[in-house]
């Protein structure tokens, strides 16, 4: 017992740390352990009409859900807000229209606006990407 009394501070802090660990690991309330929504989900819930949030919803619809029609609607709504700060919006909107087989006459104004706002863009034209892919699949590339 004399050894424990000499190290009473270490023992006390060891017991406190053990109790804190057990309390953290074993919560009595399962709702307390539920993780909060991610940043994009929270922003969409707070500001559903913000251009950036419409863009995130379009990306989610296009890539996570594979729903090009919904993605087109979200990208179109984001485009109509007049937000010019997101180069990827122009790219993904044009790509979505291309994948939905829209004619070049409807894709061209978006590409033109994109190149006007980002003249030194490194992103490829989605129409050219599609043509190269078709050529490579046919063996002509």
The predicted structure's pLDDT at residue 92: 94
User: Which residues neighbour 62 within 8 Å (Cβ) at sequence distance 6 or greater?
Assistant: 68, 71, 92, 96
The predicted structure's pLDDT at residue 26: 62
Cα–Cα distance measured from residue 128 to residue 141, given in angstroms and rounded to the nearest whole number: 13
Q: 56: number of CA atoms within 13 Å, CB side?
A: 15
The predicted structure's pLDDT at residue 61: 93
Nearest to 90 by CA among 61, 98, 130: 98
Cα–Cα distance measured from residue 36 to residue 119, given in angstroms and rounded to the nearest whole number: 39
Instruction: Give, for all 141 residues of the chain, the pLDDT tens digit.
Output: 566 556 677 777 777 788 777 766 665 555 555 555 676 677 778 888 888 889 989 999 999 999 999 999 999 999 999 988 899 999 999 999 999 999 999 999 999 999 999 999 999 988 887 665 554 544 544
Question: Which domains occur in the chain, in start order?
Answer: 39-138 (1.25.40.10)
């Amino acid at each position: 017992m004399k050894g424990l009394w000499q190290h009473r501070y270490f023992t006390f802090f060891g017991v406190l740390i053990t109790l804190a660990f057990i309390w953290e690991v074993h919560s009595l309330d399962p709702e307390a352990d539920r993780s909060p929504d991610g940043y994009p989900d929270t922003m969409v819930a707070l500001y559903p009409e913000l251009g950036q949030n419409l863009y995130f919803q379009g990306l989610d619809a296009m890539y996570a859900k594979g729903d090009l029609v919904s993605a087109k609607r979200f990208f179109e709504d984001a485009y109509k807000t007049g937000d010019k700060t997101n180069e990827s919006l122009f790219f993904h909107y044009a790509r979505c229209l291309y994948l939905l087989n829209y004619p070049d006459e409807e894709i061209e104004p978006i590409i033109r606006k994109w190149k006007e706002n980002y003249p030194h863009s490194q992103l490829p034209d989605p129409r050219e990407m599609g043509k190269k892919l078709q050529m490579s699949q046919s063996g002509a590339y």
